[in-house]
Amino acid sequence: MPKAFTKLTATAAPIMRTNVDTDIIISINRMVGNSVRGHLGKWAFGSLRYLPDGSDNPEFILNREPYRQAEILVTGPNFGCGSSREAAVWALQEMGIRAIIGSGFGDIFFANCFQNGILPVVLDKSIIDSLAAEIEASQGAGRLSVDLQEQTITSPSGVRHAFEIDPRRRAGLLEGLDEISLTLRRDQEIRAFQASDRAARPWIHFAG
Amino acid sequence: MDTRGRTLLAKIWDQHVVAQLSDDTDLLHVDRHLLHDLGGSRGLLDLKSRNIPVHNPELTFATPDHAISTAAARAGTIKTGWDLLAALRTETSASGIQLFDLDQPGQGIVHVIGPELGLSLPGCLIVCGDSHTCTHGGLGALAFGIGSSELTHVLATQTIIQRRPKTMRVTFDGRMPFGVTAKDLILALIGHVGAAGGTGYAVEYAGSAIGEMPIEGRLTICNLSVELGAKMGLIAPDDKTFDYIRGRPYAPKGEMWERAVAEWRTVRSDSDAVFDREVSIDVSTIIPQITWGTSPEHVLGVDGRIPDPADIADPARRSAIEIALDYMGLKPGAPIAGTPVDWVFIGSCTNSRLSDLRAAAEVARGRKVAPGVRAWVVPGSETVKRDAVAEGLDRIFIDAGFEWREPGCSMCLAANGETVPPGQRSVSTSNRNFIGRQGPRARTHLASPATAVAAAISGAIADVRMLER
CB contact under 8 A, A32 and B38: yes
Q: Is the pTM of this model over 0.90?
A: yes
Confidence tier at B151 by pLDDT (50, 70, 90): very high
CB contact under 8 A, B157 and A183: yes
Of B147, B158, B422, the CB nearest to A84: B147
Window 5-64 of A, Cβ < 8 Å to B: 16-19, 21, 23-24, 27-29, 32-34, 47, 52
* pLDDT at residue B1 tops 60: no
d(CA B407, CA B64): 10
The single-letter code of the amino acid at B75 is A
Q: What is the pLDDT of residues B374-399, one digit of tens each?
A: 999 999 999 999 999 999 999 999 99
Looking at residue B204, its pLDDT comes to 98
- The string of DSSP codes covering B252-297 is --HHHHHHHHHHHTT-S--TTB--SEEEEEEGGG---EEE-SSSTT
d(CA B376, CA B344): 6
- The string of DSSP codes covering A133-166 is HHHHHTTT-SEEEEETTTTEEE-TTS-EEE----
Strands (E), B129-210: 142-145, 159-163, 166-173, 201-206
Q: What is the pLDDT of residues B174-207, one digit of tens each?
A: 999 999 999 999 999 999 999 999 999 999 999 9
CB contact under 8 A, A166 and B59: no
CB contact under 8 A, B52 and A184: yes
Query: Across all residues in chain B, what is the average pLDDT?
Result: 97
Q: Is the ipTM of this complex over 0.85?
A: yes
Q: Name B20's bridge partners.
A: B26
- From A72, A55, A15, select the one nearest B323 (Cα to Cα): A15
Mean pLDDT of B34-41: 96
Q: What is the pLDDT of residues B253-305, one digit of tens each?
A: 999 999 999 999 999 999 999 999 999 999 999 999 999 999 999 999 999 99
Cα of first residue to Cα of last residue in chain A, in angstroms, is 33
What stretches in chain A show pLDDT beneath 70? 1, 208
The C-alpha of A37 sits at a distance from chain B's nearest C-alpha, in angstroms, of 11
| B251: chain A residues, CB-CB within 8 Å | 203
Mean pLDDT of B314-333: 94
CB contact under 8 A, B161 and A33: no
Strands (E), B303-368: 343-346
Mean pLDDT of B147-155: 97
Of A87, A167, A186, the CB nearest to B19: A186
8 Å CB contact between B225 and B137? yes
Whether A75 and chain B come into contact, CB under 8 Å, resolves to no
* Residue A168: closest C-alpha in chain B: B22
Whether B277 and chain A come into contact, CB under 8 Å, resolves to no
Looking at residue A34, its pLDDT comes to 77
